[in-house]
Amino acid sequence: MRRTRSDAPVGPHYRWVVLSNTTLAMLMATLNMSSVMIAMPAIFRGIHLDPLGPGNFNYLLWMLMGYMVVTAVLVVNLGRLGDMFGRVRMYNLGFVIFTVASIMLSLVWSTGPTGALELIVLRMIQAVGGAMLMANTAALLTDAFPAERRGMALGLNQVVGLAGSFIGLVVGGLLARYDWRLVFIINVPVGVFGTLWSYWKLRELGKRTVAQIDWLGNLAFAAGLTLVLVGATYGIRPYGGHMMGWTSPFVLGTLIGGIVLLALFFAIENRVEEPMFKLSLFRIRPFMAGNAAGLLSSIGRGGLMFMLVIWLQGIWLPQHGYSFERTPLWAGIYMIPLNLGFLAAGPISGFLTDRFGARPFATGGMVLAAATFAALMTVPVNFTYWLFALVIFSNGAAFGLFAAPNTTSIMNSVPARHRGVASGMRATFQNAGMPISIAIFFSLMIVGLSARVPHALFTGLTANGVPSAKATTLAHEPAVGYLFASFLGSNPLRSSLGPKVLGSLTPAQQANITSRSFFPSLISDPFKHGLVIILTFSIVMCLLAAWASWLRGSRYIHEEEEDEEDVLLPSDLV
């Protein structure tokens, strides 16, 4: 039995305590993110705010993106602090913050814009706790497990984390049917149990790095990445007479300012004695290639969940007799095969990585992902379910095949004393890819919709008696409104036409326009056009990720006896 630096006994089963606790944390953090997304219609109904109403779009945008932006910005900083002050200490504090924020979210009683602001701020506080958990999880597992078992451990942890994002769709849809507060309350018992368990059982095994905090580098990185992600987020908003906001001074200013600050950050890190971002780690080929592959894969798949939700909630489910109020729950249920694919492939690939190395499985996973995106192009919008289920199962298996080997390769390649910051850097690339991907996916979909929605909407409305002037106005409104209406599982035509126009139509025309199938049928063809554009982009990203993954080289595990001098083998350097 060996002892930690705090002289606390650690038995042979300790590694399984770490695996089970960190897996619980990852499941809670990722499940929470997607359950809130699918419960968004119920949340906004609960606080009596129309997110698509005039001036309310920002609330919807930040409810969707705020958690991801905060997490992406903070994970590398918190990983570095874990190296300095103890990974277990930072991890435990993350459990506490996440749990307290969940309690406060469930107690929000304000309505309207005030209630939305309270939810957004508390979600960002919750994201701080989630970032602490994500930043240190991989490092804790790497500390606890020997090199020949890390693939299995990291595989289970990563796959459960990824699966949680899809399990949350079902959980969020189910709970939102009864009360939107349950979406936050469900985190509380899990968080309390995890907090007590982690404080009681987890011990510091990693080497602490005594160093000064790189305040200037921290500030430049946090501000730069925040500006880039905020600019990308607001790029999908309409601006002036444009369908999107990529040409607005605010978006251009934040993107340029963020890029300048990130360039300044890298200049700072090359000059300070104790940098926050250990740039020398990028001299290690598996570390650099693994993070590049992780970022590219995250950009390639990050917005997929949103597109599938829009597809199911806004088009397929209403066309198959589901009311708009029921679509959030059933969208989650019908996406279960995607989750099963993750669960089937992830642990197996982690186990095989321990024996054969990461390159064949991570690379193969990305090639398979590209193939599944190509297959998804051939699926009709009004599909036969078994075909859709087969394709998304294969897609889930592809990313499950990639996740564990890639993480294992990254964490095995770095010295022990840098595992916290390496884990944070890995999580930064993965989490930054998500909001970037969502912004790109929405932008590409808006391009596709804008090309075909005006004609389809004008033709459909005028055929049902709507005056040409009103139909023209609605047909040329920003496509992002129709996109988010589909995401929220609602039919926007009743409110857009208004009682005066609807009252001038015959009862049959009114019934047809406000029916479950009319609006979904109108946007089906434009949606498929946009979806093909998006999937083409995803295929390119996955193939680039496969190429980056292949460049990692053969299996490499950092030898700890070289830690004192940070010696890197020439064959393992770029």
List, for residues 64-93, the tens digit of each pLDDT value.
778 888 887 787 777 777 777 777 888 889
3-state secondary structure of 129: helix
Higher pLDDT, 208 or 261: 261
Residue 558: band (very low, low, confident or very high) from pLDDT cuts 50, 70, 90:
low
φ/ψ of 375, rounded to 5, equals: -65, -35
List, for residues 511-543, the tens digit of each pLDDT value.
888 777 788 888 888 888 889 999 999 999 999
Ranges 3-12, 299-308, 411-420, 475-484, most confident:
299-308
* Angle value at C-alpha 435, between 431 and 437, nearest 5 degrees: 100
Give the pLDDT score at 285: 87
CB 432 within 8 A of CB 296: no
Give the pLDDT score at 573: 40
Average pLDDT of the segment spanning 233-250: 80
CB 382 within 8 A of CB 393: no
Spatial CA neighbour of 491 closest among 463, 510, 470? 510
Q: Is the pLDDT of residue 4 over 50?
A: no
CA 518 to chain centre: 32
CB 204 within 8 A of CB 87: yes
Give the pLDDT score at 6: 45
Contacts of 101 (CB under 8 A, 6+ apart): 122, 123, 125, 126, 128, 129
Q: Is the pLDDT of residue 201 over 90?
A: no
CA separation for the pair 194, 198 (Å, rounded): 6
List, for residues 18-37, the tens digit of each pLDDT value.
888 888 888 887 788 778 87
3-state secondary structure of 559: coil
Residue 9: band (very low, low, confident or very high) from pLDDT cuts 50, 70, 90:
low
Residue 11: band (very low, low, confident or very high) from pLDDT cuts 50, 70, 90:
low
Contacts of 400 (CB under 8 A, 6+ apart): 159, 162, 341, 342, 343, 344, 345, 346, 349, 365
CB 289 within 8 A of CB 437: no
Spatial CA neighbour of 402 closest among 305, 296, 306, 307? 296
List, for residues 150-162, the tens digit of each pLDDT value.
777 777 777 777 7
Contacts of 355 (CB under 8 A, 6+ apart): none
Give the pLDDT score at 433: 83
Residue 49: band (very low, low, confident or very high) from pLDDT cuts 50, 70, 90:
confident
CB 32 within 8 A of CB 216: no
Average pLDDT of the segment spanning 295-309: 87
Residues comprising the chain, all counted: 574
State the average pLDDT for the chain. Answer: 81
Q: Among 186-190, 352-356, 386-390, where is mean pLDDT lowest?
A: 352-356
List, for residues 116-173, the tens digit of each pLDDT value.
999 999 999 998 998 888 878 877 887 888 777 777 777 777 777 777 777 777 788 7
CB 67 within 8 A of CB 126: yes
